[in-house]
């Protein structure tokens, strides 16, 4: 934790740069080294800048020496005027201070930079401490001593200035003064719900109340009925003492608790379970914490259906409650719909710390869906809504494809009868359903499946064409009908040329190519695993170094072959005997 007050002196040197320009009060004592400016006008005119010499005197032309040492600035004009008036009449005189003298002071003890310092004659105890870097962390802020001629002039408690702004004991220094910062006294630390946690120095008999005042007091979140003090007892044990208010007592008598050196004071937060709030969260318009009032009910927190978001599950909301005396949690549920409709049984009384949660319907109910497959643009599963029809489902899926057999779509429905699921099917004419014919544009139920069949003998674009290359009379791309065979396509291409070598013909098919490629990749994968396994077994199985090297080279050769094989692609070739 941080020691209070020491950071005041971190930028101490900057506070001294403008000290010569500060205004001088009438109580300033003039001494050797001070500069005075004397202005005369009237029958006698002149401007004189004079310095007080070691004898405490200044010298004026035609007047002589005037002793000013020991008088204050307010008296200086009167003394000089009296000396001039002995020789001249009918004049006016003004005296101002010029450059101030420099004095030497000694800063010793527990300071950052002890030593002798030259400071302005206006410097005070705090100015000199600042120039020395301030007290070190081992130095006291409560008992800084000002010594003059071997006698104690003042004991300065810096807490008066740091906490209250009181500088009444910050005396002005004189030449030869000594500042002594003794070793730090007893300290106590304050932590927890406090405005300024830190370590504070104690002075004399200090109560817990005073230390808390040093720390700015307890925050609004702090528990004033309980404070814990951890302290050392008899230089051999560390003990903890809890101070708690008696039943019926609002707070502790902090003035009666006295602090010891190295005490640690802990201020705890107010027990969260005692907060007078209720919390609303979930699928509601304005979630958050609300003030609890005696007699508060569910409808005071949720006054109408407008207070919940659309598609909320009204049949059951959760109430989480903290139950004394051990403050364990319990949960219950009520029907919010009935509560809003005036059902007294559901509109229960709320207690402090209750948490009410409204769920969206999607979390509490299985989401109803319908499905469409077959010859539509976007087959799949879609959300079901009440009064949804066949046309709505087809529209959600885009539209039927050109290959769709509109006259014969099948609607499959599952119903539970007698504790068993029964599947029922119905043929739907999509032409009539899309025209909103009620006989075919049926109202759907959850889990219905609509299957849109393909037109018989329909071939998709990818399956409708074959390519003939090489020694055909008319090579090129040919469309085929479903079930058409190889010989009819060759006849349509005009047959073979005289140069055709039928035994070397090559026939490739895309589906075969895909299956061959898959098998190739499986073989490569298994081979790589075998090679890795063999490499791991080399050291234990090899009978000699030569055998080890030979086996290793062999495996490396296999690995290179596999890498080359990865670059190869399957052709999808099928053996065809054209001659026969």
Quick check: helix, strand or coil at residue 96? strand
Please tell me which residue, 414 or 272, carries the higher pLDDT value.
414
CATH superfamily of 369-452: Outer membrane lipoprotein wza domain like (3.10.560.10)
**Domain locations in the chain as residue ranges:** 25-97, 102-181, 187-270, 274-364, 369-452, 461-500, 511-574
Q: In angstroms, rounded to a whole number, what is the distance separating the alpha carbons of residues 370 and 21? A: 90
> What distances in angstroms separate CA 353 from CA 18, 327, 564, one per listed residue?
60, 10, 71
Which of 560, 550, 551, 567 is closest to 528 using CA atoms?
560
Confidence (pLDDT) at 245? 75
- The contacts of residue 281 (CB under 8 Å, 6+ apart) are 287, 288, 355, 356, 357, 358
Q: Do domains 25-97 and 369-452 have the same CATH topology?
A: no
**Alpha-carbon dihedral sign for residues 118, 120, 123, 129:** negative
- Domain 274-364 CATH assignment equals 2.60.40.420: no
Report the top-level CATH class of 25-97.
alpha beta
Q: Is it the case that residue 515 has pLDDT exceeding 50? A: yes
What does the block give as tokens for 154?
């003042």
Which secondary-structure segment (H or E) carries 38? strand 35-42
Give the start-end residues of each E strand in 182-273. Answer: 187-192, 198-201, 222-233, 237-244, 263-269
The burial class, CB within 10 Å (0-12 / 13-18 / 19+), for 175 is middle
Which of 36, 67, 64 is closest to 54 using CA atoms?
67
Q: In angstroms, rounded to a whole number, what is the distance separating the alpha carbons of residues 103 and 177? A: 9
**Residue 476 phi, psi (nearest 5):** 150, -165
Do the strands 355-358 and 277-282 form a parallel or antiparallel pair, or are they unpaired?
A: parallel
Quick check: helix, strand or coil at residue 144? strand
Label residue 118 by pLDDT band (50, 70, 90): confident
- CATH no. of 187-270: 3.10.560.10
Buried/exposed code over 31-46 (b: 16+ C-beta within 10 A; e: otherwise): bebbebebebeeebee
What are the tens digits of pLDDT across the range 275-326? 788 999 999 999 999 999 999 999 999 999 999 999 899 999 999 998 877 7
The answer to whether 433 and 440 are in contact (CB under 8 A) is yes
What does the block give as tokens for 563?
């890498």
What are the tens digits of pLDDT across the range 469-481? 999 999 998 988 8
Question: Counting runs of H as helices and runs of E as strands, what totals does the chain give?
Answer: 12, 29
Confidence (pLDDT) at 190? 95
Locate tokens 């120095």: which residue? 201
Which of 379, 513, 361, 506 is closest to 452 using CA atoms?
379
The pTM of the full predicted model, rounded to 2 decimals, is: 0.50
Confidence (pLDDT) at 343? 92
Give 3-state DSSP helix, strand, coil % of the chain, rounded to 5: 25, 35, 40
Which secondary-structure segment (H or E) carries 528? helix 510-541
Locate tokens 């101002």: which residue? 96
What are the tens digits of pLDDT across the range 411-466? 999 988 888 888 899 999 999 999 999 899 999 999 999 999 988 777 666 667 89
Average pLDDT in the 172-183 region?
A: 91
Q: In angstroms, rounded to a whole number, what is the distance separating the alpha carbons of residues 407 and 240? A: 89
The answer to whether 38 and 60 are in contact (CB under 8 A) is yes
The answer to whether 58 and 31 are in contact (CB under 8 A) is no
Question: From its phi and psi, is residue 150 left (phi > 0), alpha (psi between -120 and 50) or beta?
Answer: left
Buried/exposed code over 519-538 (b: 16+ C-beta within 10 A; e: otherwise): eeeeeeeeeeeebeeeeeee
Report the top-level CATH class of 102-181.
alpha beta
């Amino acid at each position: 934790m941080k020691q209070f007050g020491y950071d005041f002196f971190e930028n101490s040197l900057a506070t001294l740069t403008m000290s010569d320009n500060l205004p001088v009060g009438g109580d300033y004592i003039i001494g050797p080294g001070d500069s005075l400016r004397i202005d005369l006008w009237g029958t006698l005119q002149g401007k004189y800048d004079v310095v007080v010499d070691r004898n405490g005197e200044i010298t004026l032309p035609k007047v002589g020496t005037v002793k000013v040492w020991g008088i204050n600035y307010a008296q200086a004009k009167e003394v000089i005027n009296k000396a001039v008036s002995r020789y001249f009449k009918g004049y006016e005189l003004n005296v101002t201070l010029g450059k101030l003298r420099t004095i030497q002071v000694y800063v010793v003890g527990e300071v950052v930079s002890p030593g002798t310092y030259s400071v302005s004659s206006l410097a005070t105890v705090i100015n000199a401490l600042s120039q020395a870097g301030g007290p070190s962390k081992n130095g006291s802020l409560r008992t800084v001593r000002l010594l003059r001629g071997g006698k104690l002039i003042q004991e300065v408690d810096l807490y008066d200035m740091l906490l209250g702004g009181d500088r009444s004991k910050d005396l002005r220094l004189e030449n030869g003064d000594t500042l002594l910062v003794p070793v730090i006294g007893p300290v106590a630390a304050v932590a927890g719900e406090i405005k300024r946690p830190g370590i504070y120095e104690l002075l004399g008999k200090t109560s817990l109340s005073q230390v808390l005042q040093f720390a700015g007091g307890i925050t609004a979140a702090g528990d004033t009925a309980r404070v814990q003090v951890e302290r050392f007892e008899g230089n051999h044990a560390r003990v903890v003492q809890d101070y708690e208010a008696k039943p019926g007592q609002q707070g502790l008598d902090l003035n009666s608790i006295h602090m010891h050196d190295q005490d640690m004071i802990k201020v705890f937060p107010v027990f969260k379970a005692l907060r007078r709030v209720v919390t609303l969260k979930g699928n509601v318009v304005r979630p958050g914490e609300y003030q609890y009032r005696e007699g508060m009910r569910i409808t005071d927190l949720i006054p109408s259906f407008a207070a919940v978001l659309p598609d909320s599950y009204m049949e059951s909301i959760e109430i989480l409650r903290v139950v004394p005396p051990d403050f364990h949690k319990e949960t219950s549920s009520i029907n919010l719909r009935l509560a809003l409709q005036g059902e007294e049984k559901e509109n229960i009384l709320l207690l402090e710390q209750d948490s009410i949660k409204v769920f969206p319907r999607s979390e509490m109910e299985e989401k109803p869906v319908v499905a469409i497959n077959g010859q539509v643009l976007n087959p799949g599963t879609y959300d079901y809504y009440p009064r949804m029809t066949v046309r709505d489902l087809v529209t959600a899926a885009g539209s039927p494809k050109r290959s769709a057999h509109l006259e014969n779509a099948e609607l499959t429905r599952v119903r539970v009868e007698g504790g068993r699921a029964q599947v029922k099917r119905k043929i739907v004419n999509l032409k009539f359903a899309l025209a909103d014919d009620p006989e075919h544009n049926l109202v759907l139920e959850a889990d219905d499946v609509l299957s849109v069949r393909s037109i018989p003998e329909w071939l998709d674009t990818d399956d409708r064409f074959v390519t003939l290359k090489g020694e055909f009379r008319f090579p090129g791309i040919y469309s085929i009908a479903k079930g058409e065979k190889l010989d009819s396509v060759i006849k349509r291409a005009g047959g073979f040329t005289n140069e055709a070598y039928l035994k070397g013909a090559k026939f490739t098919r895309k589906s075969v190519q895909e299956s061959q490629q898959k098998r190739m990749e499986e073989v490569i994968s298994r081979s790589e695993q075998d090679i890795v396994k063999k490499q791991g077994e080399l050291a234990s199985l090899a009978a000699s170094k030569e055998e080890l090297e030979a086996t290793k080279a062999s495996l490396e050769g296999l690995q290179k072959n596999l890498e080359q094989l990865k670059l190869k692609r399957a052709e999808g070739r099928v053996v065809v005997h054209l001659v026969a």
